[in-house]
A and B are shown apart, each in its own frame.
Chain A
Amino acid sequence: MRWAVAHAVADAVVHEGTACRAPTRYALVGRMVPWLRMGVAAVVLSTSGCASGRVATTTAGSPRAGSPTAARLNAVPPAAALPSTAAARLNAVPPAAALPSTVAARPSVTVANTTLDAFAQPLPGLSADERRAFFVGNAFFNDPWVTAPSSTAGRDGLGPTFNATSCAGCHFKDGRGAPPTDDDPDRVGLLVRLSVVDDVGASVPHPDYGDQLQDHAILGVPPEGTFDIAWDEVDGRYGDGTAFTLLRPRFTFRDLAFGPLGDVAAMPAISPRTAPAVFGLGLLEAVPEADIVARADPDDRDGDGISGRPNRVPDARTGAVVLGRFGWKDGRPTIEQQAAAAFLGDIGITSSLHPATNCPPAQAACRAAIDGGSPEVDDAKLARIVLYDQTLAVPAPRDVDDPAVVAGAALFAAARCDACHVPAMRSGPRSTVAVDALADQPFAPYTDVLLHDMGPGLADDRSEHDATGTEWRTAPLWGIGLIPTVNGHDRLLHDGRARGIAEAILWHGGEAEGAKERFRTMTRSERDALVAFVASR
């Protein structure tokens, strides 16, 4: 009986993925809307562009590695060899400086794996020792933490209050979390940040609940409370008259152990956050700060309606104010600091960066609970987990020669999605990165790592360092089409409100209003092509 259910779920997922990636037919050329004709010279169903795409998916292990042919296949194609159309540009490996043909082939940062473990692969170029360290980190990422004291002393100290018992609890298979639903009410993967405004107008943690609602606790300690989500329907129409319905979440809180969150006059700011996928983070961390900042245009000097601002955040290790790169609002500067904050906030595990247990003064049982040592995750283990996060490979683009994907690439560029979802980045030199395999690598994250005003529809009205209540970091798009395979859902955006790529686009506002409108007014086959392209990254 249980299997019947499981199969139904699996079938639905497969069907959805198929429908998304391989829509029926696209007769695009010749039916382009005027703005599209202006934006791109021609939609070329370019075989050379597709060939470049295949090069991008070539990974280590070729039996001919070392031969001149293999060297050419594994190497980044010289920029001059690439066709100049937008389609080819987007669908190919990010153009890099031409490499001399004598340079030995390097493994790419992508892996062609489309299974449940698509996001869980080590970078192909890791050494044997790095690979072993990767698996050590993987163990501490996946395995649950347990109540202290325990025989497994290196893994105890859970809570006392927590959202999940392991990193993988929310980042299942290194992938994406989603809000709980009626079908899966106990799903972890979304948490709620809280803050109140203090006497001098600063945004500070809630006095009784802290900066995040922990909805679980160890035996004998009360959970802080829980939340319910009601989904309000928001109707709209595409330019061709087709109706769509979006869902906007409304959060209510109950079972609050330490009194109401606030009164009507002074409710705390809340910001629901789903767990993002964690692969490719090492590459984003490895991009030189100057390269990211160079794309910022806070005053929109180029007049394209898109600004892009860096978040400037404190570095907990050095005290300096530096570029924020991680989190939904670029709130953390490094993977280590993101991971340490999540350890404390989400699992209740202390570290040298966050040595104090997360129990506000009102929470007596929490404060009295036995801890798992000081700190609970030591620096050596934290370093392994960080290395693991740094060296998770990126899924190779899929279906790159599908005509819809090729057409969608042109539409993506023409609609100016790529103004923020930047397809070409490059990591810094060896001296700036953790492992060889991360150095000097071209990669295609489809993010600029900058903050953008996304309009009132998505606003959480909660600031985070320099990020305002309407700003969000451009979400990377790589691997997005594999989320249904890996995580069994298609929920996107910070609070998981969007059911699939099209809805996520339709929620764009603010600086992205123009791009959203260009998408909304496309023909159905154009929209499907653009979505197919995004899903193929």
Chain B
Amino acid sequence: MTVRPSVAAPVAALACLAAIAAACGPAAAPPDAAAPSSAHTAPAAAAPPPAASADTTALRRAVVRTYADIAFASYTDALRTADALQDAIEAFVADPTDASLADAKSAWLAARDVYGQTEAFRFYGGPIDEPESGVEGLVNAWPLDEAYIDDVDGNPGAGIVNAVAEHPEITAGLLVDLNEVGGEKNIATGYHAIEFLLWGQDLSADGPGARPVTDYVVGVGPNADRRRKVLALEADLLTQHLRIVVDAWDPDELAGYRSGFVRDVDGSLAKVFTGLTELSGGELAGERMAVVYETQDQEDEHSCFSDNTHKDFIAGAQGMANIWRGRYGDVVGTGLDALVADVDPAAAADITAAVDAAVVAMGAIPPPFDQAVMGADDATGRMAVLAAMSSLEQLAARLRSAGAKLGVLGGGGA
């Protein structure tokens, strides 16, 4: 992550605006592709006169399209890494060894780094978390109902894995059905279910879970065959569920979510800002940091089995940075920075600084997170967590006011 000097942002944004205006004039059919990357690298000397809002519509359209491109690219990468995870898990259950278990864990960690960057696409009822059809609860539910899946400390016979009499046959349908008990799709599937099945409970004060490979060796671990089956099915379900989201954002799926999203430009901008402010202020700073900062419940963290929670935070902040700048992987388009700079260059520069500060602050939390939150308020870790919370809250506040200034965000605060 390169931290751009904040003064450069408005200049780049104005240059970008000129390029958009040329590419997306009202006479031409709007191309689906994002603005050319040269817009962002135009020399400062070539900055055009102050932006006129005549081209605001084209600018807004370009921002929404770039966002949709990044969503598609991000979820495509999430699916790709989940596929790799599934391959590693199939290899592991076919031949459970310390080496194949380590490979599966590595694949899980790699997949999380990518999935975490997609969390900025939540919180407005889009493909990932539409109330009726969204798969977020199947993919990323937390907290995990461990005892619904497998044995836990204090209840060795717990879980679907060991419920031989109650559920003699383990199938994908059973896992999905059980997942919906209580009307909520949040019990027993997704990344954290796989994490639990790979790492096991984190019973140590200073390390991740240490599930022995023998849990998967038939004839050694109790119900090892059933545990293998559950793990393999979980990996398969994860890729199936992610594919639904990828398809929804696919520009070639004409009846998919994306086509409506890029048409309803102002409505979609509201969603973009809502997703970012909810993720930074509500979800990351609030639910995931403030709660455990206050309770100091050591395992009250999202990736508690693998002690990977600090990486979830970094990925979340990076996902916001991707959208803000309009860049992710091969996508080099028009970011929100250009849109905000169009109405308030100083605010855009402030937000760029806040985005970068948030990424830095997440990286400054000393891992593992479950140790960082412990101790007295002046402990290094707690101070770093508090600073990270503050940086996210500041970012949320600035994004809220920018969204209001653009007229896409109403009142409200979460």
What are the residues of chain A within 8 A of B187 when measuring CB–CB? Answer: 144, 165
What are the residues of chain B within 8 A of A134 when measuring CB–CB? Answer: 286
Any B CB within 8 A of the CB of A302: no
Any B CB within 8 A of the CB of A358: no
Cβ-neighbour of A150 out of B152, B256, B412, B413 (below 8 A)? B152
The interface-forming segment of A216-224, A420-428, A528-536 is A216-224
Count chain A CB atoms within 10 A of each CB in B141, B158, B183, B401 and give the residue with the most.
B183
Q: In the docked arrangement, what's the CA distance between A154 and B294, Å? A: 12
What are the residues of chain B within 8 A of A124 when measuring CB–CB? Answer: 411, 413
Q: Are A146 and B183 in contact (CB under 8 A)?
A: no
Do most interface residues of chain B lie in helix, strand or loop, or is the interface mixed? loop
Q: In the docked arrangement, what's the CA distance between A113 and B411, Å? A: 6
Q: Mark B232-268, 1 if CB is under 8 A from A, else 0.
A: 0000000000001001100000011100100000000
Known pairs A61-B411, A132-B286, A139-B291; A150 contacts B127 (CB<8 A): no
Any A CB within 8 A of the CB of B147: yes
Known pairs A144-B145, A146-B143; A6 contacts B133 (CB<8 A): yes
Cβ-neighbour of B184 out of A9, A140, A155, A166 (below 8 A)? A166
Cβ-neighbour of A155 out of B143, B281, B411, B412 (below 8 A)? B143
Q: Are B413 and A147 in contact (CB under 8 A)?
A: no
Q: In the docked arrangement, what's the CA distance between A165 and B183, Å? A: 8
Q: Are A136 and B131 in contact (CB under 8 A)?
A: no
Q: In the docked arrangement, what's the CA distance between A219 and B287, Å? A: 28
Q: Are A146 and B148 in contact (CB under 8 A)?
A: yes
B287 nearest in chain A by CB position: A139
Any A CB within 8 A of the CB of B202: yes
Cβ-neighbour of B414 out of A4, A121, A165, A169 (below 8 A)? A121
The interface-forming segment of B6-14, B298-306, B334-342 is B298-306
For the complex formed, measure the closest distance between the CB of B399 and the CB atoms of chain A, giving whole angstroms.
13
Q: Are B163 and A219 in contact (CB under 8 A)?
A: yes
For the complex formed, measure the closest distance between the CB of B365 and the CB atoms of chain A, giving whole angstroms.
17
Any B CB within 8 A of the CB of A138: yes
Any B CB within 8 A of the CB of A148: yes
What are the residues of chain B within 8 A of A390 when measuring CB–CB? Answer: none
Any B CB within 8 A of the CB of A188: yes
Known pairs A117-B414, A219-B159; A155 contacts B300 (CB<8 A): yes
For the complex formed, measure the closest distance between the CB of A299 and the CB atoms of chain B, giving whole angstroms.
44
Q: Are B411 and A396 in contact (CB under 8 A)?
A: yes
Known pairs A112-B411, A121-B414, A144-B145; A172 contacts B153 (CB<8 A): no
Cβ-neighbour of A113 out of B154, B401, B410 (below 8 A)? B410
Q: Are A186 and B183 in contact (CB under 8 A)?
A: yes
Any B CB within 8 A of the CB of A381: yes
Known pairs A135-B290, A143-B143, A146-B145; A154 contacts B297 (CB<8 A): yes
What are the residues of chain B within 8 A of A144 when measuring CB–CB? Answer: 141, 143, 145, 182, 184, 186-187
What are the residues of chain B within 8 A of A438 when measuring CB–CB? Answer: none
Q: In the docked arrangement, what's the CA distance between A146 and B196, Å? A: 14
B146 nearest in chain A by CB position: A150
Cβ-neighbour of A6 out of B132, B154, B247, B299 (below 8 A)? B132
Any A CB within 8 A of the CB of B124: yes
What are the residues of chain B within 8 A of A112 when measuring CB–CB? Answer: 410-412
Q: Are A138 and B297 in contact (CB under 8 A)?
A: no
Any B CB within 8 A of the CB of A467: no
Known pairs A112-B411, A144-B143, A151-B305; A3 contacts B202 (CB<8 A): no
Any A CB within 8 A of the CB of B166: yes
What are the residues of chain B within 8 A of A120 when measuring CB–CB? Answer: 414
Any B CB within 8 A of the CB of A465: no
B131 nearest in chain A by CB position: A488
For the complex formed, measure the closest distance between the CB of B363 and the CB atoms of chain A, giving whole angstroms.
22
For the complex formed, measure the closest distance between the CB of A172 and the CB atoms of chain B, giving whole angstroms.
7
Q: Are B274 and A115 in contact (CB under 8 A)?
A: yes
Q: Are B125 and A116 in contact (CB under 8 A)?
A: yes
Any A CB within 8 A of the CB of B142: yes
Q: Are B184 and A149 in contact (CB under 8 A)?
A: no
For the complex formed, measure the closest distance between the CB of B245 and the CB atoms of chain A, giving whole angstroms.
10
Any A CB within 8 A of the CB of B201: yes
Cβ-neighbour of A136 out of B144, B281, B294, B299 (below 8 A)? B294
For the complex formed, measure the closest distance between the CB of B140 and the CB atoms of chain A, giving whole angstroms.
12
Any A CB within 8 A of the CB of B285: yes
Known pairs A139-B286, A151-B201, A153-B299; A111 contacts B413 (CB<8 A): yes
Q: Are B414 and A147 in contact (CB under 8 A)?
A: no
Q: Are A146 and B411 in contact (CB under 8 A)?
A: no
Count chain A CB atoms within 10 A of each CB in B127, B143, B413 and give the residue with the most.
B413
For the complex formed, measure the closest distance between the CB of B142 and the CB atoms of chain A, giving whole angstroms.
7
Any B CB within 8 A of the CB of A2: yes
Q: In the docked arrangement, what's the CA distance between A189 and B389, Å? A: 34
Any A CB within 8 A of the CB of B53: no
Any A CB within 8 A of the CB of B155: yes
Any B CB within 8 A of the CB of A59: yes
Cβ-neighbour of B248 out of A3, A128, A150, A163 (below 8 A)? A3
Any B CB within 8 A of the CB of A48: no
Q: Mark B149-188, 1 if CB is under 8 A from A, else 0.
A: 0001111001110010010000000000000111110110
Beyond A61-B411, A219-B163, 4 additional pairs, beta carbon < 8 A: A3-B257, A112-B412, A117-B123, A117-B412
**CB-CB nearest 4 A-B residue pairs:** A135-B286, A188-B183, A59-B411, A149-B154
A-B contact pairs, 10 of them (CB 8 A): A2-B133, A3-B255, A112-B412, A113-B410, A116-B131, A135-B291, A143-B287, A147-B148, A218-B147, A219-B147
